[in-house]
Amino acid sequence: MGKNCFYLKAIGTFPPVEAKRFVNDFKERTKNLKKFCVLVDISDASILDGNSITTILDLLKENNKRLEKSVFVIINNPPLDVEIKYLLEKAISPKRKIVTTLDEAKE
């Protein structure tokens, strides 16, 4: 995706405690950056807690001025239909896109 990009790979359940750990680490790593981008890959997640998604989206909104681009990688995963619908509704932003493959995310 480019310079100063961060990759978050959610595997398994991605509970809120893991999302918060990512947020804290992310804030520390980006505190001196003027611009950055984020790729959130939930293609291998089996169950997502809505609070985890909200935590990541809140982080991106909080840093919107410095955020060049964010991408969510999702696949058709029937057990995650509700979570994916929530993500599609809440993640609307001109700086954000939702794709189905990692290759698309890198474009």
Please give the average per-residue pLDDT across 27-54, as a whole number.
84
pLDDT, tens only, 44-57: 776 777 788 888 88
Q: Which domains does the chain have, with CATH numbers?
A: 5-106 (3.30.750.24)
The DSSP string of 37-88 is EEEEEEEEES---HHHHHHHHHHHHHTTTTEEEEEEE----GGGHHHHHHHH
Whole-model pTM over 0.85: no
